[in-house]
Structure 1
Amino acid sequence: MVAESKAPLGRPRDPRVDAAALRATRELLCELGYADTTIDRIARRARVSRTAIYRRWPSKALIVHEAVFPPADNRLHVAACGNLETDLRELVTGAVALFGRPEVVAALPGLMADAAADERLRQAFRAGLEASAGNELARLLDEARSRGEVRSGVTAGTLMHLVAGTLLVRAVAWGTDELDPLADELSDLLLHACRG
């Protein structure tokens, strides 16, 4: 009996195609906005075929999501210093910077509209938030709780929703004006919520 091969069929995917398509998507979002960033334009800018795009991303929303929230780039990490206030401020400042990037601001209104009817996109959003802010907040809260800095009943999930919800609404409705004061105010609110 011959063992079945586990090797994938066909040629391996070229990572340069992925990189070119994602770069083209970010550029077009900043130049044209979400509505006018199309698969045709992405393919032309990246100098790849539409088929190459669709083979990797089955919809415009999914390529845009990966372009503006690349898995390796949107992980918030805080080098915890042992002080809840300092750690929360660092995390919120990183989240504000992430949501303040021009390509993110350009993409969010369209992504939010498309997410209403696209379960895969909602799952991608959820997974990205949990892998970045959710996991990091859980770690910081566990450490702060062991030091007696966090009251009972405070969960990382609720804090993550407060941060992400605030930043989504801010980016969609107001853009990136005056983000620095927002980071300070949001950090103060989270700290108050943690301490009660």
Structure 2
Amino acid sequence: MAASIRKARGRPRDADIDRRILDAARSLLAEGGFRALSFDAISQMAEVPRSMIYRRWPTKVHIANAIATGGEGRLPDVIDTEGLEAQVLALVEQLLDRYQRPDIGAAAVGVIAVTQGDRALQRELQAESETAARATLADIVARGQRAGLIADGASADALFDLVIGSLIYRVLFSLEPLPEGYAASVTRLLVDGLARR
């Protein structure tokens, strides 16, 4: 979230106002999708002046990005203690749980739509969180390779794209409902592709 909030000048920011703004934005996104998100609606719901919102987030896509990329933070990291299958399952379940939340799903779709074709805005909003997530996954894969759990040729970069891309598509864009056991099915496919033979 920190990357998507402009640094305030002068007095320290009021964390309660930040929370009220984000809570209002989450409610609007969950109830009406990205189209329902506006500074006027947030201002009214959070009972704060529009100027307070602008000082924190310059546009509604910046607020949506804070919601889409904030939350539990780092990717799960259990490969050392629980093994490869538990690691992949934890990652898949985290992403499925996250993007099935109505506020986060609507925020993510809005950010994707608004930033499409605008590489500068994509870098501004996503570079820090994506770089950190890719680095975390690369470290997990490297440790799995050193432990003999993951094939030496397995690419952490490709794994990131496969997991994030496929799950976001399925949850946010596919018309098909998630079948029971979907996380386990995806996990098995990924583990079969990653495991050292």
TM-score under structure 2 normalisation?
A: 0.83
Which amino acid counterpart does residue 130 of structure 2 have in structure 1? L
Which amino acid counterpart does residue 75 of structure 1 have in structure 2? R
Q: How far apart, CA to CA, are the structure 1 residues paired with 2:39 and 2:155?
A: 40
What is residue 91 of structure 2 aligned with on the other side? 91
Q: Kindly provide the CA deviation profile for residues 69-88 of structure 1, in whole angstroms up to 9, marking residues without a partner as x.
A: 32x52322233325211211
What is residue 79 of structure 1 aligned with on the other side? 78
| Count of aligned pairs between the two proteins | 187
Q: Kindly provide the CA deviation profile for residues 82-126 of structure 1, in whole angstroms up to 9, marking residues without a partner as x.
A: 521121111211121112212122223222111114433444334
Taking the TM superposition and a 5 Å limit, the aligned residue runs for 1:42-61 are 42-61=42-61
> Which stretch shifts more, 119-128 or 46-55?
119-128
Q: Kindly provide the CA deviation profile for residues 47-80 of structure 1, in whole angstroms up to 9, marking residues without a partner as x.
A: 111111111111101101112332x523222333
> Which stretch shifts more, 36-45 or 21-30?
36-45
Q: How far apart, CA to CA, are the structure 2 residues paired with 1:108 and 1:188?
A: 27
Which amino acid counterpart does residue 127 of structure 1 have in structure 2? E
Q: Are 2:99 and 2:105, in contact at CA under 8 Å, matched by a contact in 1?
A: yes
Q: Which runs of 4+ in 1 moved over 4 A?
A: none
What is residue 16 of structure 2 aligned with on the other side? 16
Change beyond 3 A, Cα 1:137–1:179: farther
Task: Confirm or deny that 1:131 pairs with 2:132.
Answer: yes
Change beyond 3 A, Cα 1:127–1:117: same
Q: Are 1:105 and 1:176, in contact at CA under 8 Å, matched by a contact in 2?
A: no
Q: How far apart, CA to CA, are the structure 1 residues paired with 2:33 and 2:166?
A: 22
- Aligned-residue Cα RMSD (Å) equals 2.3
Q: Tell me, what secondary structure is at the counterpart of 1:35?
A: helix
Task: Confirm or deny that 1:163 pairs with 2:190.
Answer: no
Task: Confirm or deny that 1:100 pairs with 2:73.
Answer: no
Q: Are 1:99 and 1:105, in contact at CA under 8 Å, matched by a contact in 2?
A: yes
What's the offset of the Cα at 1:34? 0.6
Change beyond 3 A, Cα 1:50–1:121: farther
* Structure 1 unmatched ranges of 5 or more: 1-7
Q: How far apart, CA to CA, are the structure 2 residues paired with 1:44 and 1:152?
A: 55
**Identity rate of aligned residues, in percent?**
29
What is residue 41 of structure 2 aligned with on the other side? 41
What is residue 112 of structure 1 aligned with on the other side? 112
What is residue 25 of structure 2 aligned with on the other side? 25
What's the offset of the Cα at 1:148? 1.6
TM-score under structure 1 normalisation?
A: 0.83
